[in-house]
Structure 1
Amino acid sequence: MTSPYRPPAYFVRTGPTSYRATAATSGAWNTEEQHIAPAIGLLVHLIEADFAQRRGDDLVITQISCDILGTIPVAEMDYQVRVLRPGRTIELVEACLAHGGRTAVLLRAWLLKPGDTAGLAASPLPRIPPPEHHPEWPPAEVWPGGFIASLSCRRIEHEPGRASYWLTTGTPLVDDAQASALARTVGLLDAANGMTVRADPTRVAFPNVDLTAHLFRRPFPGWIGFDTAVSFGGEGTGLTHSTLHDEDGPFGTLAQILTVRPAR
């Protein structure tokens, strides 16, 4: 009996400005398309790599705003990175992924110069219990595709649309470099919209059209925690909102706006 195929990474480099998505990126609404989560992590990795090549000093990504302009197949993609607002202590950088000449994912990131504020560090955001206090939960029972299958999840669901949970993966982000803890973390964030569903996704579709994260400190590698609430309005829109954690506590927030409609 042969072992199941395990892709070397979510993305394999194919050229100076291109990567090919592997089967590990597939799903969740359609397994012929990419789950956008790894693609967003890839864009953060590309911004960090571009910054290291251009400058090599120390600015940190503190905010990302991602627009999902359309679906993208599990296939080869081209990318571009450009600086919109250069500066010694603040930069705004944009990165995009395209397939077949069509831009599918557009991300902008604010980078700020760090400083020593250890004496001021604190947050009133409530902590969730650590991973070992959450039971294992298989998200592949709800969602198909290689990306969801690549995740390990531990979850406490309080009600449909309200849960705390922890995610990690053993799949590398790219095959040609060691991605940072931040890029690997960001590559998990878009999973939040599917980890505590308010409605059966075979009957109601609720994909997000954006993702915005604000980070007040850099996350540590390992398990990433989410304290998530999903809200549906009465006019076809919704919101998935999460407080983000590592094992030292909260480090930021996440929001995804949803279009809610009957599933096809």
Structure 2
Amino acid sequence: MSTAGFFERIDEHRFKPTPHAGGAWDPDEMHFSPLAGLIVHALDRHLAGRPDRGLTVSRISFDILGRLALDECEIRIETLRPGRTIELLEAVALISGRPVVRARAWLLAAGDTSDVAGGAAERLPPPEELASWPLTSVWPGGYIASLDVRPVSPPEPGRTTAWITTGLDLVAGEETGPLASYVALVDTANGIAVRESPTAWMFPNVDLTIHLHRPPQGRWTGLDTTVVFGPTGQGVTTTVLHDTAGPVGHAQQMLTVRPQPSREL
């Protein structure tokens, strides 16, 4: 891994984004994907600071509350629902003292259910067998430029399956857990299966919800993604999530669909 990262740590709760975190809709804004990973990284460190109770993150939802300026951010965590086998945590990311993302994570007790495991989709072809695709041909921004994207088949409007990884640290010089590294790439799903050119239409997501049926592992995030635009300005990006061992869960993003200002009637 490179010693460069998407963020640099300032203190226990504050981080400075680097140009690598630059957004796709506006390079002066932060791409949400690495910020989501940073929030999970903060949750991991919060959990590491207390006795291990055998709980694992099984769902995490992010609500994007406002503009993600490419500026210093702070992350605060609290327990909303304590419990021995089920727990709910909330993390809030602030920029200039204003909440910009609110995340809630359900932690469930881990146990051996391998005898009844089943129902997941088929594994994807391994990324090592696939060629890279320059996502920079569709999107600008430092975050997009940092990615290695390998489609399973040629991308189609509204439908793409691809592997994604990056050579950058999430936080420069810090070891990152597998869940944070994985989540840091999931929000890319809305950008790999575009239905319309982003120069003509805007379709940013206002949230991201991830459900996991097992913890992801490894440096690759697999996204089997479908994008639907409705007739009244809403859209949904739906993704089956994979690692190289197979499916790990699902993700959904709610989109606000609108013409670019120059195209408005």
Q: Which residue of 2 aligns with 1:61?
A: 57
Residue 122 of structure 1: CA displacement?
A: 2.1
Counterpart AA for 1:134: L
8 Å CA contact 1:237–1:257 kept in 2: the answer is yes
Question: Residue 5 of structure 2: which of 4, 9, 12 is its match?
Answer: 9
Residue range with higher mean Cα deviation, 152-161 or 90-99? 152-161
Q: Deviations over 1:5-25 (max 9, x none)?
A: x87211111122211111110
Question: Which runs of 4 or more aligned residues in structure 1 lie more than 6 Å from their structure 2 counterparts after TM superposition?
Answer: none
2:245 matches 1:248: yes
Question: Residue 211 of structure 1: which of 200, 208, 215 is its match?
Answer: 208
> What is the correspondence of 1:172-211 to structure 2 with a 5 Å cutoff?
172-175=169-172, 177-211=174-208
2:119 matches 1:116: no
Residue 176 of structure 1: CA displacement?
A: 5.2
For structure 1, which runs of at least 5 residues remain unmatched after alignment? 1-5
Find the aligned partners of 1:96 and 1:158 in 2 and give their Cα distance.
Answer: 35
> What is the correspondence of 1:94-113 to structure 2 with a 5 Å cutoff?
94-113=90-109
Q: Deviations over 1:233-258 (max 9, x none)?
A: 00000000000111111110010010
Residue range with higher mean Cα deviation, 249-258 or 117-126? 117-126
Q: Deviations over 1:123-155 (max 9, x none)?
A: 342333222343320101111111011110001
Q: Which residue of 2 aligns with 1:236?
A: 233
Q: Which residue of 2 aligns with 1:3?
A: none
The percentage of aligned residue pairs carrying the same residue is 46
Taking only aligned residues, the RMSD between alpha carbons, in angstroms, comes to: 1.4
Q: Deviations over 1:133-187 (max 9, x none)?
A: 4332010111111101111000123521111100001111113531101100000
Residue 74 of structure 1: CA displacement?
A: 1.4
Evaluate the alpha carbon distance shift between residue 163 and residue 133 of structure 1 in structure 2; reply closer, same or farther with a 3 A threshold: farther
Q: Which residue of 2 aligns with 1:44?
A: 40
2:129 matches 1:129: no
Counterpart AA for 2:40: V
Find the aligned partners of 1:140 and 1:252 in 2 and give their Cα distance.
Answer: 27
8 Å CA contact 2:123–2:245 kept in 1: the answer is no
Counterpart AA for 2:65: L
Find the aligned partners of 1:175 and 1:90 in 2 and give their Cα distance.
Answer: 32
Residue range with higher mean Cα deviation, 36-45 or 6-15? 6-15
User: Any idea what SS the aligned residue of 2:193 has?
Assistant: coil
Find the aligned partners of 1:173 and 1:133 in 2 and give their Cα distance.
Answer: 26
2:162 matches 1:140: no
Counterpart AA for 1:219: P
What is the number of residues matched between the two proteins? 259
TM-score, with normalisation over the residues of structure 2? 0.94
Residue 44 of structure 1: CA displacement?
A: 0.8
Find the aligned partners of 1:217 and 1:176 in 2 and give their Cα distance.
Answer: 28
Counterpart AA for 1:118: S
Counterpart AA for 1:83: T
Residue range with higher mean Cα deviation, 151-160 or 179-188? 151-160
